[in-house]
Amino acid sequence: MRASSLVVCEHCDAVHERRRLAPRERALCVRCGAELYRAGGVDLYTMLALTLASLIVFVIANVYPIITLELQGVANRSTLWGAIHATWETGVGPVAVLAALTVFFFPLAQILMFGYVLFELLRGRAPRGFVDIMHALRLMRPWSMVEVFMLGTLVSVVKIAGLAQVTPEIGIFAFGVLTILLTTINSFDLRLLWDAHERVAADGAAAGLVA
Ligand SMILES: [Zn+2]
Protein backbone atom coordinates (compact mmCIF):
# COMPACT_ATOMS: atom_id res chain seq x y z
CA MET A 1 0.00 0.00 0.00
CA ARG A 2 1.31 3.49 -0.83
CA ALA A 3 1.91 5.65 2.24
CA SER A 4 0.03 8.53 0.63
CA SER A 5 -3.20 6.52 0.57
CA LEU A 6 -3.20 6.49 4.38
CA VAL A 7 -4.77 9.18 6.54
CA VAL A 8 -3.87 9.70 10.18
CA CYS A 9 -6.51 11.18 12.50
CA GLU A 10 -5.22 14.51 13.89
CA HIS A 11 -6.94 13.87 17.21
CA CYS A 12 -6.28 10.25 18.13
CA ASP A 13 -3.64 9.09 15.60
CA ALA A 14 -5.80 6.25 14.26
CA VAL A 15 -4.69 5.30 10.73
CA HIS A 16 -7.26 4.96 7.96
CA GLU A 17 -7.11 4.08 4.30
CA ARG A 18 -8.03 7.01 2.10
CA ARG A 19 -10.81 6.58 -0.43
CA ARG A 20 -12.52 8.83 -2.93
CA LEU A 21 -15.63 10.54 -1.57
CA ALA A 22 -18.87 11.48 -3.29
CA PRO A 23 -19.56 15.23 -3.48
CA ARG A 24 -20.26 16.76 -0.04
CA GLU A 25 -19.35 13.53 1.74
CA ARG A 26 -17.08 13.68 4.80
CA ALA A 27 -14.76 11.00 6.09
CA LEU A 28 -14.86 10.60 9.89
CA CYS A 29 -12.46 8.80 12.21
CA VAL A 30 -13.87 5.40 13.17
CA ARG A 31 -12.38 5.68 16.65
CA CYS A 32 -13.11 9.24 17.80
CA GLY A 33 -15.47 10.59 15.14
CA ALA A 34 -13.29 13.60 14.20
CA GLU A 35 -13.37 14.73 10.58
CA LEU A 36 -10.49 13.29 8.54
CA TYR A 37 -11.13 15.03 5.22
CA ARG A 38 -14.03 16.11 3.07
CA ALA A 39 -14.93 15.94 -0.60
CA GLY A 40 -14.89 18.86 -2.95
CA GLY A 41 -13.70 22.25 -1.76
CA VAL A 42 -11.77 24.42 -4.15
CA ASP A 43 -9.66 22.98 -6.97
CA LEU A 44 -6.09 24.00 -7.81
CA TYR A 45 -7.13 26.59 -10.41
CA THR A 46 -9.39 28.35 -7.89
CA MET A 47 -6.53 28.24 -5.36
CA LEU A 48 -4.16 29.86 -7.85
CA ALA A 49 -6.72 32.55 -8.73
CA LEU A 50 -7.25 33.38 -5.04
CA THR A 51 -3.49 33.40 -4.44
CA LEU A 52 -2.89 35.84 -7.32
CA ALA A 53 -5.74 38.04 -6.09
CA SER A 54 -4.11 38.05 -2.63
CA LEU A 55 -0.79 39.14 -4.12
CA ILE A 56 -2.39 42.11 -5.90
CA VAL A 57 -4.34 43.15 -2.78
CA PHE A 58 -1.20 42.67 -0.66
CA VAL A 59 0.72 45.15 -2.85
CA ILE A 60 -2.13 47.69 -2.69
CA ALA A 61 -2.40 47.30 1.10
CA ASN A 62 1.31 47.99 1.54
CA VAL A 63 1.78 50.78 -0.99
CA TYR A 64 -1.18 52.98 -0.07
CA PRO A 65 -1.64 54.80 3.24
CA ILE A 66 -3.76 53.08 5.90
CA ILE A 67 -5.16 56.12 7.68
CA THR A 68 -4.82 59.88 7.81
CA LEU A 69 -4.62 61.54 11.22
CA GLU A 70 -5.50 65.20 11.43
CA LEU A 71 -4.68 67.14 14.57
CA GLN A 72 -4.89 70.95 14.82
CA GLY A 73 -4.76 71.32 11.06
CA VAL A 74 -1.72 69.08 10.61
CA ALA A 75 -2.46 65.96 8.57
CA ASN A 76 -0.34 62.85 8.92
CA ARG A 77 -0.69 59.87 6.60
CA SER A 78 0.84 56.52 7.31
CA THR A 79 1.42 53.30 5.42
CA LEU A 80 2.02 49.99 7.18
CA TRP A 81 5.79 50.47 6.86
CA GLY A 82 5.49 54.03 8.13
CA ALA A 83 3.74 52.68 11.22
CA ILE A 84 6.34 49.94 11.73
CA HIS A 85 9.17 52.46 11.35
CA ALA A 86 7.50 54.81 13.82
CA THR A 87 7.11 51.94 16.29
CA TRP A 88 10.81 51.13 15.92
CA GLU A 89 11.76 54.80 16.48
CA THR A 90 9.78 54.99 19.72
CA GLY A 91 12.03 52.30 21.15
CA VAL A 92 9.80 49.23 21.09
CA GLY A 93 11.93 47.31 18.63
CA PRO A 94 10.54 43.82 19.34
CA VAL A 95 6.99 45.01 18.63
CA ALA A 96 8.09 46.54 15.33
CA VAL A 97 9.91 43.33 14.33
CA LEU A 98 6.93 41.17 15.31
CA ALA A 99 4.56 43.39 13.34
CA ALA A 100 6.85 43.30 10.29
CA LEU A 101 7.05 39.49 10.46
CA THR A 102 3.39 38.68 11.09
CA VAL A 103 1.78 41.35 8.92
CA PHE A 104 4.32 41.58 6.09
CA PHE A 105 6.90 38.80 5.72
CA PHE A 106 4.90 35.69 6.69
CA PRO A 107 1.80 36.58 4.63
CA LEU A 108 4.00 37.52 1.64
CA ALA A 109 6.05 34.31 1.94
CA GLN A 110 2.83 32.29 2.15
CA ILE A 111 1.36 33.93 -0.94
CA LEU A 112 4.59 33.51 -2.97
CA MET A 113 5.11 29.88 -1.96
CA PHE A 114 1.50 28.93 -2.65
CA GLY A 115 1.67 30.74 -5.99
CA TYR A 116 4.90 29.00 -7.01
CA VAL A 117 3.76 25.50 -6.00
CA LEU A 118 0.32 25.86 -7.64
CA PHE A 119 1.77 27.37 -10.82
CA GLU A 120 4.28 24.53 -11.26
CA LEU A 121 1.79 21.77 -10.42
CA LEU A 122 -0.78 23.14 -12.88
CA ARG A 123 1.93 23.18 -15.56
CA GLY A 124 2.48 19.52 -14.80
CA ARG A 125 5.91 20.01 -13.21
CA ALA A 126 7.14 19.07 -9.76
CA PRO A 127 8.09 22.26 -7.85
CA ARG A 128 11.68 22.43 -6.55
CA GLY A 129 11.91 21.93 -2.79
CA PHE A 130 8.26 20.86 -2.71
CA VAL A 131 8.43 19.00 0.62
CA ASP A 132 10.29 21.85 2.39
CA ILE A 133 7.84 24.42 1.04
CA MET A 134 4.86 22.37 2.19
CA HIS A 135 6.30 22.07 5.70
CA ALA A 136 7.06 25.79 5.78
CA LEU A 137 3.48 26.57 4.68
CA ARG A 138 2.07 24.42 7.46
CA LEU A 139 4.36 25.96 10.10
CA MET A 140 3.64 29.50 8.94
CA ARG A 141 -0.15 29.24 9.09
CA PRO A 142 -0.57 30.39 12.69
CA TRP A 143 2.04 33.16 12.27
CA SER A 144 0.34 35.03 9.49
CA MET A 145 -1.75 37.50 11.49
CA VAL A 146 -3.16 40.15 9.20
CA GLU A 147 -6.52 39.78 10.95
CA VAL A 148 -4.96 40.65 14.32
CA PHE A 149 -3.37 43.74 12.76
CA MET A 150 -6.74 44.67 11.24
CA LEU A 151 -8.47 44.39 14.62
CA GLY A 152 -5.70 46.33 16.38
CA THR A 153 -5.88 49.13 13.82
CA LEU A 154 -9.66 49.42 14.16
CA VAL A 155 -9.42 49.56 17.96
CA SER A 156 -6.72 52.26 17.73
CA VAL A 157 -8.79 54.26 15.24
CA VAL A 158 -11.78 54.22 17.62
CA LYS A 159 -9.55 55.26 20.54
CA ILE A 160 -7.84 58.08 18.65
CA ALA A 161 -11.09 59.30 17.08
CA GLY A 162 -11.83 61.41 20.18
CA LEU A 163 -8.44 63.16 20.02
CA ALA A 164 -7.86 63.68 16.33
CA GLN A 165 -9.73 63.39 13.08
CA VAL A 166 -9.13 59.98 11.58
CA THR A 167 -9.82 59.21 7.93
CA PRO A 168 -9.57 55.65 6.64
CA GLU A 169 -7.50 55.35 3.44
CA ILE A 170 -7.28 52.77 0.63
CA GLY A 171 -4.72 50.72 2.55
CA ILE A 172 -7.08 49.84 5.38
CA PHE A 173 -9.77 48.62 2.95
CA ALA A 174 -7.16 46.57 1.10
CA PHE A 175 -6.11 45.01 4.43
CA GLY A 176 -9.77 44.16 5.05
CA VAL A 177 -10.02 42.31 1.72
CA LEU A 178 -6.60 40.72 2.33
CA THR A 179 -7.83 39.37 5.69
CA ILE A 180 -10.67 37.52 3.94
CA LEU A 181 -8.42 36.23 1.13
CA LEU A 182 -5.72 34.99 3.53
CA THR A 183 -8.32 33.25 5.68
CA THR A 184 -9.49 31.46 2.55
CA ILE A 185 -5.91 30.56 1.57
CA ASN A 186 -5.26 29.24 5.06
CA SER A 187 -8.29 26.96 4.76
CA PHE A 188 -6.92 25.29 1.60
CA ASP A 189 -6.66 21.53 1.95
CA LEU A 190 -2.89 21.01 1.65
CA ARG A 191 -3.62 17.33 0.95
CA LEU A 192 -4.79 18.35 -2.56
CA LEU A 193 -1.32 19.73 -3.28
CA TRP A 194 0.38 16.55 -2.05
CA ASP A 195 -1.96 14.49 -4.26
CA ALA A 196 -1.29 16.68 -7.29
CA HIS A 197 2.46 16.48 -6.62
CA GLU A 198 2.28 12.70 -6.47
CA ARG A 199 0.46 12.54 -9.83
CA VAL A 200 2.96 14.92 -11.44
CA ALA A 201 5.93 13.01 -10.02
CA ALA A 202 4.46 9.68 -11.24
CA ASP A 203 3.90 11.12 -14.72
CA GLY A 204 7.46 12.46 -14.71
CA ALA A 205 8.87 9.06 -13.74
CA ALA A 206 6.80 7.35 -16.47
CA ALA A 207 8.03 9.87 -19.05
CA GLY A 208 11.61 9.27 -17.88
CA LEU A 209 11.24 5.52 -18.44
CA VAL A 210 9.89 6.03 -21.94
CA ALA A 211 12.71 8.44 -22.84
ZN1 LIG B 1 -9.62 9.88 15.71
pLDDT tens-place string over residues 146-184: 878 888 877 877 887 778 888 888 988 998 999 999 988
The pairing of beta strand 26-28 with beta strand 35-38: antiparallel
Ligand 1 centre to CA of 195 (Å) is 22
Q: What percent of the chain has pLDDT over 90?
A: 27
Ligand 1 centre to CA of 26 (Å) is 14
Of 41, 55, 34, 58, the C-alpha closest to 193 is: 41
Ligand 1 centre to CA of 35 (Å) is 8
Whether 82 and 110 map to the same domain: the answer is yes
Quick check: 41 and 146 in contact, CB under 8 A? Answer: no
Q: pLDDT at residue 50 above 90? A: yes
Ligand 1 centre to CA of 193 (Å) is 23
Whether 88 and 4 map to the same domain: the answer is no
Ligand 1 centre to CA of 186 (Å) is 23
- The whole-number pLDDT of residue 201 equals 84
Whether 53 and 28 map to the same domain: the answer is no
What is the four-CA torsion angle of 185, 190, 196, 197, rounded to 10 degrees?
110
Whether 20 and 50 map to the same domain: the answer is no
Quick check: 77 and 169 in contact, CB under 8 A? Answer: yes
47 vs 53: CA distance, rounded Å? 10
Ligand 1 centre to CA of 136 (Å) is 25
Whether 96 and 161 map to the same domain: the answer is yes
Whether 107 and 176 map to the same domain: the answer is yes
Q: Both ends of the chain: CA-CA distance in Å?
A: 27
Whether 52 and 145 map to the same domain: the answer is yes
Name the burial class of residue 2, with classes exposed (0-12), middle (13-18) and buried (19+) by CB atoms within 10 angstroms of its CB.
Answer: exposed
Q: Which domain holds residue 117?
A: 42-210
Whether 51 and 29 map to the same domain: the answer is no
Whether 94 and 33 map to the same domain: the answer is no
The number of residues in the chain equals 211
Whether 34 and 102 map to the same domain: the answer is no
Whether 90 and 72 map to the same domain: the answer is yes
pLDDT, one tens digit per residue, over 68-116 is 888 888 888 888 888 888 888 888 888 888 888 888 899 999 999 999 9
Global confidence as pTM:
0.76
Confidence band, pLDDT 50/70/90 cuts, at residue 51: very high
Confidence band, pLDDT 50/70/90 cuts, at residue 31: very high
DSSP string, 46-82: HHHHHHHHHHHHHHHHHHS-SEEEEETTEEEEE-HHH
Of 159, 150, 172, 166, the C-alpha closest to 76 is: 166
Name the burial class of residue 15, with classes exposed (0-12), middle (13-18) and buried (19+) by CB atoms within 10 angstroms of its CB.
Answer: exposed
Ligand 1 centre to CA of 30 (Å) is 7
Ligand 1 centre to CA of 19 (Å) is 17
**Domains contained in the chain, number:** 2
User: Residue 23: CB partners within 8 Å, gap ≥ 6?
Assistant: 39, 40
Whether 76 and 10 map to the same domain: the answer is no
